[in-house]
């Protein structure tokens, strides 16, 4: 068995000839765009597909066989409300990934907004000082 790592949408060696060599394709891709792409390729080549994935602690496995089961895109999938940490840390490909990662880092460095957050307490003191100086 050989594992192939790359972008299934843009890498040149993931062409239809690549998929035709298999009796069955099994994937565990990390985004809907890539899953939809492999779904379309497998359907067009009449190659059965087993798609596995997870969202948080919930795992899914779907078998897709042309004209026997619904395709991957035929069953609407809910859009995730948050980004997986593995995506935003390891392979951020959208601006929003960088923003979410920065927010996570900020929270881990400066702590949650609660009573034990000393940096927040310092910020409150500074605000009070600025407000009292402005009112003078």
Enumerate the active-site residues.
86
Q: How many CB atoms lie within 10 A of CB 7?
A: 11
92 φψ region: left (φ > 0), alpha (ψ -120 to 50), beta (else):
beta
Which residues are CB-neighbours of 32 under 8 A, at least 6 positions away?
77, 79
Q: Which of 58, 49, 5 lies closest to 26, judged by CA?
A: 49
Is 13 strand, coil or helix? coil
């Amino acid at each position: 068995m050989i594992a192939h790592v790359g972008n299934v949408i843009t890498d040149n060696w993931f062409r239809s000839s690549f998929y035709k060599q298999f009796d069955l394709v099994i994937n565990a891709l990390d985004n809907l765009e890539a899953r939809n792409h492999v779904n379309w390729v497998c359907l067009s080549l009449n190659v059965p597909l087993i798609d596995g994935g997870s969202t948080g602690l919930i795992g899914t496995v779907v078998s897709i066989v042309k004209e026997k089961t619904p395709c991957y895109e035929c069953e609407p999938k809910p859009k995730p409300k948050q980004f997986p940490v593995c995506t935003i840390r390891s392979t951020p490909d959208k601006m929003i990934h960088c923003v979410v990662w920065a927010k996570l880092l900020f929270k881990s460095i400066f702590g949650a907004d609660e009573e034990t957050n000393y940096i927040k307490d310092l910020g409150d003191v500074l605000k009070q000082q600025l407000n009292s100086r402005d009112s003078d």
